[in-house]
Amino acid sequence: MKNLIDSHGRSFRYLRLSVTDKCNFRCTYCLPDGYKSPEVAQDSELSVQEIKSICEGFSLLGFEKVRLTGGEPTIRKDLLGIVRSVAEIKKFQTIALSTNGHNLDRLAKPLREAGITAINVSLDSLDSSQFQSITGSKRFDSVRDGIETALDCGFASIKVNAVLLRDITDLEIPQFFEWVRTRPISVRFIELMKTGKNGNYFKKHHISCGEIQLELRKRGWKVKKRNDLGGPAVEYYHPDYKGTIGLIAPYSEDFCQTCNRLRVSARGNLRLCLFGEEDYSLRKHLIDRNSPVLVASAVRSLIERKPATHYLKEGKYGNTWNLASIGG
């Protein structure tokens, strides 16, 4: 099969698949009141076999990277089984996981053994009480230890995501810089995105990555060449630092031009754009051994509907009430 290219000439090889929309944290910008079960009954989450069939479908389209995300993926009891079954699809170069790090100290090794090659951990503060006030979790030490354990486990890449928040994360930028001096970690600052539920918070705490960018350049950091399978970050390196700094700026002009990813929700719906208006069921194609081929042809026929850009600047966030619902 030919690779997947949309009507704007962008090519897609990176799938972000949510395995659950539930979460055990209460991040102020995402799920400030914690996860609540919806009042209306929903379809069940994808099973291990359904996840495997969907991933096989994408591999038939030339996809080489899959990221398992959520909600918080590690609260799924069968996560290791999911990873093992995705790892059986030999065409993926990278099987990544996004996690809040809650159980990472215990899970890093089994995840690596099951087939995870790259790990992204969210850590918005290097200070335990600030961490608790952002996430509602007391497990700061366990997250920090989990990152250290992951460093010993041989992952090809370890990234730490910090959402850039005015008067909160921005005050700790020097500490984050210091942290990557001695650790081969990529710390990525993500601009806060406005969703259906966080409008007031966004008004109060959104800042652009512009100032960090100026600071990086002033201090001699250089832009790394973008990897085709990479995510949305612009990465900076410096000869005196073991780690790198990445900036994710979804409000910047050219952000959508390099989009190389598609998303599938925990209930098997294809989301062509993170802030898109429509979801398309892939689950309905999961009927027999031919399912991966049916999934691949459904995605191929839907790709022409992928919009050129999101409309975040115009204040439109599509179906995204919070990022836990689709995986960020």
Footprint on this chain of ligand SF4 (rule: CB under 6 A):
23, 25, 27, 30-31, 70-72, 100, 122, 323-324
Residue number of the CB atom closest to ligand SAM: 328
Q: Which of 177, 176, 179, 203 is nearest to 192 (CA)?
A: 203
> Phi and psi dihedrals of 245, rounded to 5?
-120, 130
- Quote the tokens at residue 138: 């007391």
- In sequence order, which ranges of the chain are alpha helices (DSSP H)? 48-60, 79-87, 104-114, 128-135, 140-152, 173-181, 199-205, 210-218, 291-302
Q: How far is the CB of 120 from ligand SF4 (least distance, A)?
A: 11
When asked if residue 266 is in the footprint of ligand SAM (CB under 6 A), the reply is no
Strand partners for 4:
12
Contact 240, 281 (CB under 8 A): no
Q: How far is the CB of 202 from ligand SAM (least distance, A)?
A: 7
Q: In this complex, which beta carbon is closest to ligand SF4, that of residue 274 or of residue 299?
A: 274
Return the range that interacts with ligand SAM (CB under 6 A); candidates 8-16, 139-147, 171-179, 319-327. 319-327
When binding is defined by CB under 6 A, the residue of 190, 247, 266, 296 that contacts ligand SAM is 190
Q: Which of residues 203-222 bind ligand SAM (CB under 6 A)?
A: none
Q: What whole-number distance in Å separates Cα of residue 164 and Cα of residue 58?
A: 32
Contact 263, 270 (CB under 8 A): yes
Q: How far is the CB of 178 from ligand SAM (least distance, A)?
A: 21
Judge residue 307's burial from the number of C-beta atoms within 10 Å of its C-beta, 0-12 exposed, 13-18 middle, 19 or more buried. Answer: middle
The partner in contact with residue 126, picked from ligand SAM, ligand SF4, none with C-beta cut-offs of 5 to 8 angstroms by kind, is none
The partner in contact with residue 198, picked from ligand SAM, ligand SF4, none with C-beta cut-offs of 5 to 8 angstroms by kind, is ligand SAM
Contact set with ligand SAM (CB under 6 A): 23, 29-30, 69-70, 72, 98-100, 122, 161, 163, 190, 192-193, 195, 198, 323-324, 327-328
